[in-house]
Amino acid sequence: MKFYLLQGSVTGNLNTLSFLPYIGYFVADNIEIGLNPVNITSMWISHSTTTMYSIFLAPSYNFKTEGNIYPFVEAQLGYTSVIASYSSSNLTGFSWGW
């Protein structure tokens, strides 16, 4: 992916590497408790690197279908830490998603 920052001096290729394992257990029909135990995503362009570490609890509801496709609705609640090489401060705290 080519990345251009307008009104700045950073131009180059944006590279991303992610490691996102998932473990799930059905506690009842259609109800799953999931865990994303170690989410690591690293992005870099030129000499700047941003790395995100997180852990999420991910409860979900899985819909029954007659085919091979199983749609689901999931909430994610957890903790995230973002470390950027170009900044002296790190962002950490509660995070959520779906």
Which has the closest alpha carbon to 93: 77, 72, 70? Answer: 77
- The values of phi and psi at residue 71, to 5°, are -65, 155
**Could you tell me the two tokens for 36?**
């994303």
The type of residue at 37 is P
Q: What pLDDT does 10 receive?
A: 54
Q: How far apart are the first and last CA of the chain?
A: 25
Distance (Å) of CA 79 to CA 55, 64, 85, 92: 6, 31, 20, 7
Residue 32 lies in domain: 2-97
Number of domains the chain is built from: 1
Lowest mean pLDDT among 6-15, 43-52, 59-68, 81-90: 6-15
pLDDT digits (tens, 9 = 90+) for 72-97: 999 999 999 999 887 777 889 999 98
Number of other CB atoms surrounding residue 58 within 10 Å: 19
State the alpha helices, DSSP H only, in 6-80. none
